[in-house]
Amino acid sequence: MSAALSTSQADVRESLRSVLESVVKKIVTTPENIKVTYSVGERTTIYQIETVQSEYGRLVGSQGRMINALRTVIAGMAGTHGFRAILNFKNDEKFHQF
């Protein structure tokens, strides 16, 4: 039973990755520069958006509204399938100006 559940959750995680990547590619101006990956922890799946610096602001949105909306959708979809999901930018520290 747990093997079937694991396979099912693996399928759901991949589906969420695919949906997220499709949505993000519709938001940006250079969709070829978008890559969405995920890593699975014990109880949490971390989705990471990899992009170029020029698209970072568009994905964050005004006052973080866009990224927060994406996080809410992903968390809700994951929650209905029994796991927690977090959405981050891969290597986002490289976009911050000090």
The CATH number of whichever domain residue 7 belongs to comes to 3.30.300.20
Residue 97, in any domain of the structure? no
pTM score: 0.84
C-alpha span between 68 and 61 (Å, rounded): 9
The number of distinct structural domains making up the chain is 1
Among candidate residues 5, 18, 13, the one with its CA nearest the CA of residue 41: 13
Tens place of pLDDT for every residue, the chain, 98 residues?
445 555 588 999 999 999 999 999 999 999 999 999 999 998 899 999 999 989 999 999 999 999 999 999 999 999 999 999 999 998 766 655 53
Q: Which domain holds residue 60?
A: 2-90
Residue 14, in any domain of the structure? yes
